Structure 1
Amino acid sequence: MTAITLPRAIETFVAATNAHDAKALEAAFAPGATIVDAGTTFATEAELREFFQVHLVNPKIVLTPTSYEDGRLVASGDGDFPGGPLSFAFTFGIDDDVITDPVIEPV
Structure 2
Amino acid sequence: MTEIDLPRPIAAFIVTNNAHDGDALLALFAPGATVADDGRTHGTEDEIRAWIKSHLTDPNIVITPKSYDGHRLVASGDGDFPGGPLDFAFDFETQDDAIVSLSIEPV
Q: TM-score, normalised by structure 1?
A: 0.97
Q: Spell out structure 1 runs of 4+ moving beyond 4 A.
A: none
Identical counterparts, % of pairs: 59
Gaps of 5+ in 1: none
**In the alignment, what sits opposite 1:96?**
96
Q: TM-score, normalised by structure 2?
A: 0.97
Cα RMSD between the aligned structures?
0.7
Which digits, 9 at most, give the CA deviation of each residue in 1:42-81, with x for residues without a partner?
Answer: 0111100000000000000000000000200000000011
Per the alignment, in what secondary structure is the counterpart of residue 92 of structure 1?
A: strand
Which one has a larger percent strand, Structure 1 or Structure 2?
Answer: 2
| 2:83 corresponds to 1:83 | yes
3-state SS, counterpart of residue 5 of structure 2: coil
Q: For the Cα contact (< 8 Å) 1:38–1:106, is it kept in 2?
A: no
Aligned residue pairs total 107
SS in 1 for 2:55: helix
Q: CA deviation at 1:38?
A: 3.2
Are 2:30 and 1:30 aligned? Answer: yes
